[in-house]
Every structure is written in structure tokens, then in C-alpha cells.
Chain A
Amino acid sequence: MPEALMKLLDAKDHPLLSVEIGEVNRMRRHALDFEKPIAEVEANIASLKQITEGIGEDRTEEIRELELLLEHITREIFSNLSAWDKVQMARHELRPYTMDYVRLIFDDFVEIHEDRHFGDDPAMVGGMATLDGERVMVIGHQKGRDAKERAYRNFGSAKPEGYRKALRLAQMAEKFRRPLLCFVDTPAADCTVEAEERGISESIARNMRDFALLKIPTMSIVIGEGGSGGAVGIATTNRVAMLEHSIYSIIPPEGCAAILWRDPDRAPEAAEALKLTAEHALRFGVVDEVIEEPMGGAHRNYDETARRVKASIQRHLSELKGLSGGDLVQSRYERFRRLGEWYEEGRASIAVAGG
């Protein structure tokens, strides 16, 4: 940690540390261990600003210094994130969720609740919207912000009715020839008895198959956790983008560690081995683009994150716009067809890797 910060933090009687300021304090309360130095400096800057503006005591010089310090330590911390740090970022309690993007990117959102089979699933949201005037269909996993909403949203783990609602909306988008956008953010699909009874496996499999046949442009964006089957159930799309500090994984690292070593505490090791970061997903051809997050992560600047996600969506949709329905199905087929890595015995080179 930089010296100036250490000095600041050591000054226990520093009057500014006790000042409470809403937003900054929220950041502090929810800060991950490795984020704590950042949250502390942010808190100090906010305090100094309040003093400057509130009681007219000019502290702008200190503010400027701290802002430089903030930039420096943020850059330093974020240039060295481990896979496990990224898992924490992807699950961050303040991270923007699907409905935040809906609010910040789209207009005229009309939420649709039905799956026509069983009931509504609050862990999967969707509806009609416009994107700078263009009519689109939006679906996505939805997590909850506080304890009550988290339970209501089932922690973003969708049930069969959620996947069936997603498919119904996807096919409605096709009927009216509107592009489909899918926001992926789930730890895993629901694995309770009731989900099993209503066919969670079939609902995910069906979505992959029927999303493959949609004659409209489709795109998914992994905004947080791309959790295994729960993620691919709405991500078999023409384009797949991923936020920089999101993860895309076959299994939660805790589960992997439990199976490999019978020790969930070795999750950080498992996270490393699973190569679940956006960088790896891009290298393997699993995603087409990694959307860079604002300094310090998506949760430090919702507006800027949403602006970047929106720009990515618009670029991909404009690239897909000229393609016929048949071409969209064909290029989607080829996109998924080439995924995987193997070699042919007797040949020297590895045959494939993403593209």
C-alpha cells in the first residue's frame, strides 16, 4: 500500500474517517477485502469535499493528491486480480444487475411475466423495450439487492418456468422480427426438487436447441456470473460479450474444490485451474468481446458501464443487421460448432481452438 495512504489510515484520530456519507459508505460497507484501500481513500476524498463545500475550509490540494493516489492504487489493485478476485467481483453485492441495465440502456420497457406452463419466475425477467428507438426483446437473470429481494429472486437461479418464459419471449421476438438481447447473471440453474420435477434439464436443453433456430439477430452479455447450464440456457446466441470482471464457468469454484479435494476452502485454487475469466473465455473463442469495465469495476460507475454495454450491443446488432434469417442461423451454428479443443492422433497440430 502506498505510504501516503498508510499515513492517512494510521491517523486514527483523523476527524475525516468518522464522517459518514451515503454512497461512499455503501461502497465501504460492501467492499471486498482487496477493495478496502480503494474504499477508504474514496471515503476520505468524499469527506474532504464535504468539508470544502460545507464549512468552506479549502482542502482542494489534499483532494487532488488523494485522487491521484486513488487512481494509482486502483490501477495497481486491478492490474493484479486473481481468478478468485474476479469471482468475487462477478458476485459483488453492488454489481449492476439485469434490471439496472434495462433502466440505463433501454426505453419503454414492458415486463412480461408468463411462461404459459406453470407460473412466473422472478429469477428470469424479460419484456419488450426500445434501444434508441429500435424495438428489441430483452431477457435476463435477475438477482436481488437485499436479503428480501435475494430470496424473492432465488439468488438469480432460474427454474424451468424461467427458461420457458425466456424461450416464449425469444420466439415472440422472432415472430415480430425484433433482435433478442440476453443478460446472463446466474450462479447456476435452480437445483431444488421442484425444479427437477418440472424438468429443469429439459428446459435448458430445449432453449439451446430452439435458440439455435431463431431467424433473428441474437446477442448475450455475461454481466456477472455465467454459471454453467443456467447460463447457456439463454446464451446460445449469434454474439456473446462479457464484462471484464465477469466469470463464465462449468461449475462454481467451491463445488470444483469440493469434488477434487473434498475441501471447498480451496476454491481460489479451483478458480485458477478452471480458467473462468473473461480473458480466457475470449482466448477460447467462447465470447466474441470483452467489455472493459470502468476503473474499479462496474459497480463504481453504473452509467459508464451501461454506456459501454450499450455501445457493444449496438455495434454487434449493426453487424448482424444485414444478414438474412437463414444466414443468422447458419453463422450461429458455425460459431458454436467450432468450440472445443482436441487433436487428431497422427497429426502434429491441435485441430481447433475457438477461432
Chain B
Amino acid sequence: MPPGGWFSRHKPESDLPEGLWSKCERCERIVFVRDLERNLKVCPHCDYHHRLTAWERIEMLTEPGSFSEWDADLRSSDPLGFPEYPEKLEKDRQKTGLTDAAVSGCGSIGAHRVSMGLTDFRFRAGAMNSVVGERLTRAVERAVDERLPVLLVSGTGGGASMYEGILSLMQMPKTSVALARHHDLGLLFISLLTDPTMAGVYASWASLGDLTLAEPGATIGFTGSRVSKQAQAHVGRRPANYQTAEFQQDRGMVDRVVPRKDLKATLEKLLDWTA
């Protein structure tokens, strides 16, 4: 890990306000931006793991210069003609510099070439539409062709995108059948759950890892209470840490909650063990 400069390449995409200091999103204490970035965007006061962009994540996990992007030319076609969808996509393209909510490609983690797919919460809350499903599926298919391990990193608020309706829903079985083939060949799939991982994403590829890791404090669950009356009715009966990474580890759904600073080393060990 180089001291500082982790996210130098993609600074303009940062979620934090410009300036020398900023407020932690959880504890609201003042943090120097430089300290925060040196600390991998983890709050030095309360340990809150601020969301990373897909490119920050790639920079953090892969060896410098090793990552090459795939399928950057795919674009959503607004198949439903959904009201205001193209405008919303365009706005997020401008805001993030991304073409859609997932980035995929091949990079090295330690000595291992890994096929990777990452969703980025800043783009349409990381929702899975046809482009996201297609990029992830192609990443898994390339891993099948080249017998590579797969690492998928989720960060998705709403799960599958409402704006592409049934076609977004079909990205759940689509990514799952691709992972089935990868699984059937005895290849390794690591799923890394980051804040937030919900609904159709959590109920498809994000839950299919041989190993499922999660970042501390990440929100991980099936249904948010806004979507369903049934879920709302249960609000009072929830454990305090309901739908967090720690809750999911407690219930046996997450294999290991890993602090961000240990992630790369942990991934390397797991890749070494299975290679």
C-alpha cells in the first residue's frame, strides 16, 4: 500500500465535498480529507466505511496498472420506454463519468489474474439493469473460457432496476446461470458485499460466492421497508443490527466481515489457498 495517493487517479469522482476537510457521514465529526483518503475512506473516529467508487475499489484491490476494462461500449437502450429513464441515465453519466452502474475487467490481485465486476452506487444507486447484467455475465463467461477466479463487488441500493422492469429481473437468473457454469467447473467465485447490497442483487449473484465477504457496517438485506407493507409491519421486531454485515455474519449468510484495510491481504490469502 502506498502511503496516501490511493485514489489519486480518480479524485474528481469522489463522493466527498471538495476542500481540505469534510464531515463523516455517520458520526458527523470533522475529518481532514487527506486523512480520510489515507485511511481508505474509513472514518478515523467511528470506523464508518464510506462508499467507494468502482474505480477506487479497483485501485485499492488490484496491482497498479494491471486492470483492463471490458465491454465499456455497452449502453442501456431504455427497453420499456420508462418515463424519464434516459434523462436519469444521462444525468448519472455526467455526474460519475461512468457509462453504467457496473465496471468489469481483468486485473491482478497479488499473483492472481482475476475476472472482476463491480457495481457503483453513485450510478442509479448501483441498480442492476440489462447493461449491468450483461457486463457481469460476460465477465463470468470470460472467466469460464480462461479458467479464472471471479470477484464480484456489490454496492446496490435497489437491487434490480425498476426502470427496465422484467428485463432487469431476468438479469438475476442470467447472472446466476453464468455463475452455475463457472461453479460447475470447480472455479472460485468470491462475492464482496459493500454498502449497500439489497434485493435482486443480494438475491442473485451476490449470494452465490464460494466465499462471501462483507465490509463492516454495510447494509445487506432482501427488502427495504419502503418497498413492502409486510416489511414495514416488522420494523418493531428487528434486532438492532438488522440487515447489516454483522447481522448477516451472525446468521451464517456472510463468511467473514473484513475491515477495508485488510481486504486485499485477505483476498490474496483466499486466492492463494484455492489456486
Contact = CB atoms under 8 A, between A and B. Distances in A.
Interface of A: 157, 188-193, 195-202, 204-206, 208-210, 212-213, 228-229, 231-233, 235-236, 248-251, 255-256, 258-260, 273-276, 280-281, 284, 286, 332-333, 336-337, 339-346, 350, 353
B173 A232 contact: yes
B221 interface: yes
A200 to B, nearest CB: 5
Interface in B83-107: 83, 99
Given A209-B180, A212-B177, A286 B170 contact: yes
B73 A208 contact: no
Contacts of B160: 228, 250
B251 A343 contact: no
Nearest to A345: B73
B166 A191 contact: no
A275 B166 contact: yes
B173 A190 contact: no
B267 interface: no
Contact of A200 (B99, B131, B203): B203
A157 B230 contact: yes
Contact of B177 (A236, A280, A341): A236
Contact of A232 (B167, B169, B181, B230): B169
Given A258-B226, A259-B226, A343 B75 contact: yes
A250 B80 contact: no
A292 B127 CA distance: 34
B187 interface: no
Interface of B: 73-77, 79-80, 82-83, 99, 130-131, 133-134, 137, 158, 160-162, 164-174, 176-181, 183-184, 199-200, 202-208, 221-223, 226-228, 230-231, 234, 237-239, 242-243, 251-253
A197 B243 CA distance: 9
26 contacts: A190-B230, A192-B230, A193-B234, A196-B223, A196-B242, A196-B243, A199-B252, A201-B202, A201-B207, A205-B207, A208-B180, A209-B176, A209-B183, A209-B208, A228-B169, A233-B203, A236-B176, A249-B165, A255-B228, A273-B82, A274-B165, A340-B134, A341-B79, A342-B74, A343-B77, A344-B73
B181 A333 contact: yes
Contact of B162 (A192, A235, A274, A339): A274
B166 A229 contact: no
A275 B180 CA distance: 29
B253 A199 contact: yes
Given A204-B204, A250-B169, A281-B166, 7 more contacts: A201-B207, A249-B165, A250-B200, A255-B228, A274-B166, A344-B75, A353-B79
